[in-house]
Amino acid sequence: MAIERARGGFVKPIQLSLYIRDQLAAGAEFWGNELYSMYKEAIQKAYRAIDEARPPKRRKGKRKIISYAGFRIYLYVLRRLGLIEYILEDGEIKGDVPLLKDGITDAPFLSKTHYFRAVISRINDPAWQNIWQAYKGIR
């Protein structure tokens, strides 16, 4: 299915929503930062391959990659569309134990870790192709 775009713009060599779908398709579970790191590495590798295929005068410099905040918005939209879901796991220690003013340690800083997984029944949903068009329809 071809992606329809209402306006022009640069198309990334790896579409983010499809990358997330492909990573989560086999029932794998990843947390957001791990998915972001994998995407960032894959897109940088794709850009290097594109630049190596070009003549030296036409090579681009450093290209912008979506920020982690933007990536989290993608995950939010995918969750609202029902394409992915998350699992909460309590109790992992994240970082150092905070110290109070008198040097006594308080309880360890515990945070919930959000692991994402794809909704298997919606893997072939056409909304993966253009999540913004699908999200516009549910708002």
Question: What is the total residue count of the chain?
Answer: 139
Angle at 108 (CA atoms; ends 28, 86), nearest 5 degrees? 25
pLDDT level of residue 69 (50, 70, 90 thresholds): very high
pLDDT level of residue 93 (50, 70, 90 thresholds): very low
User: Could you tell me the two tokens for 24?
Assistant: 């989560």
Residue 82 CB contacts under 8 Å (≥ 6 apart), including other chains: 119, 122
- The structural domains of the chain, ordered by start, are 16-138 (1.10.10)
Give 33 or 54, the one with higher predicted confidence: 33
Q: DSSP 3-state assignment of 89?
A: strand
pLDDT for 101: 58
User: Could you tell me the two tokens for 101?
Assistant: 């003013």
Question: To the nearest whole number, what is the mean pLDDT of the chain?
Answer: 78
Predicted structure pTM score: 0.73
